[in-house]
Amino acid sequence: MASTSSDEPSLLDKLDAVAPLAQFDAFPKLPSSYKARSESRGFMTIFVAFMAFMLVVNDISEFLWGWPDFEFSVDNNKNPFLDINIDMVVAMPCGYLSVDLRDAMGDRLFLSGGLRRDGVLFDVGQATALREHSEALSASQAVAQSRASRGMFDWLFRRKKSLFAPTYKHVGDSSACRIAGTLQVKRVTANLHITTLGHGYSSYEHVDHSKMNLSHVITEFSFGPFFPDIVQPLDNSFESTDKNFIAYQYFLHVVPTTYIAPRSSPLHTHQYSVTHYTREVSHDHGTPGIFFNSSSDASVS
């Protein structure tokens, strides 16, 4: 039987003769003469490290300050009274208006002298700007309020100016009436009525029909202490008409709300939803005015 010679080259030796494995490099490198350092040098490394640091700081800020979280619960608030905050302008002189509140207990409060009433100018241009501001921000605010972050990025990028300033500048005049103040009422179903003298409630005075105009701007309408993370539906709203006998009806569902912020005492306040109706009434049927009808609901924390 023939034997294999020991000095015969192996298969690996034959392959190495064709393509030397010792010189094979899966990751070929450029010669040093073709290399040059970039001017930025380690800028990208520093930038990535800085962004990582900012993300860590933002997460720590969210952990410390958190974000609003809404939960429903049974209202166990035994306080029998509730504050109503109101600031609005009606396009009629103050002497022509009557402000009254009637609750489910049968009590009626004559508020024309209790609330602050100032003669101002009803500026349609400002009112229109307010409404455009409210409509333009409604969608973005609804999204933002769903989870308002308390991180560092939110603090940095939240400071952006709006297209319109959400304020109504009151100019002294006597053609319109600003009704403002805080009312302490019972925590029961109640109606707040703003009517003209001689229409709705008995009065010795009777406002001429040609002088009646219930166009109005509502700058503030809220219940209880200020709640920083909610936009009340009627704030910065505006209604205008050229009719004399108009009834504006606002049906409000008030919800007790407890706002708990980090490292502070719980804030017991209220928020509400609203349904709005406008209808023209005749002289013999219906009462012209601005009516706020409120009812209570479950609580939110």
In a domain, 42, yes or no: no
DSSP 146-189: HS---SHHHHHHS----SS-S-----B-SSEEEEEEEEEEESS-
Whether the per-residue pLDDT at 301 is higher than 90: the answer is: no
Question: Is residue 83 included in any domain, yes or no?
Answer: yes
User: Which of 35-44, 122-131, 247-256 is the least confident region?
Assistant: 35-44
For the stretch 242-254, what's the b/e string if a residue is b when 16 or more beta carbons lie within 10 angstroms of its beta carbon? eebbbbbebebeb
Sign of the four-CA dihedral 72, 74, 78, 83:
positive
The answer to the question of residue 40 being in a domain is no
In tens, the pLDDT along 97-124 reads 988 888 877 677 777 666 888 899 888 7
- Whole-number pLDDT of residue 161: 46
> How far apart, in whole angstroms, are the C-alpha atoms of residue 272 and residue 268?
14
Mean pLDDT of the chain: 76
On whether residue 143 sits in a domain, the answer given is: no
Residue 249 scores a pLDDT above 90: yes
242 domain-assigned: yes
Per the structure, the complete domain to which residue 87 belongs is given by 72-123+168-300
* Segment 266-282 mean pLDDT: 86
> What pLDDT is recorded for position 92?
92
Q: Give yes or no for a contact between 250 and 274, defined as CB atoms under 8 angstroms apart.
A: yes
Asked whether residue 15 is assigned to any structural domain, the reply reads no
Q: Which of 35-44, 194-203, 219-228, 264-273 has the lowest mean pLDDT?
A: 35-44
Task: Find the largest Cα–Cα distance for the chain.
Answer: 141
Q: What percent of the chain is predicted at pLDDT more than 90? A: 12
pLDDT digits (tens, 9 = 90+) for 147-194: 455 555 555 555 444 443 456 778 888 889 999 988 888 887 888 889
Checking if the pLDDT of 294 tops 70, the result is yes
pLDDT at 146: 45
CA pair distance 243, 126, nearest whole angstrom: 21
Q: How many domains does the chain have?
A: 1
Q: Is the pLDDT of residue 29 over 80?
A: no
Of the listed ranges 184-188, 231-235, 257-261, the least confidently predicted one is 257-261
> Quick check: 81 pLDDT over 70?
yes
Q: Is the pLDDT higher at 186 or at 5?
A: 186
Structural domain contains residue 67? no
216: confidence class by pLDDT, cuts 50, 70, 90:
very high
Summarize the confidence of residues 74-95 as an average pLDDT: 83
Rg (CA), the chain: 35
pLDDT of residue 164: 39
Average of per-residue pLDDT across 133-140: 60
Report yes or no on 294 lying in a domain.
yes
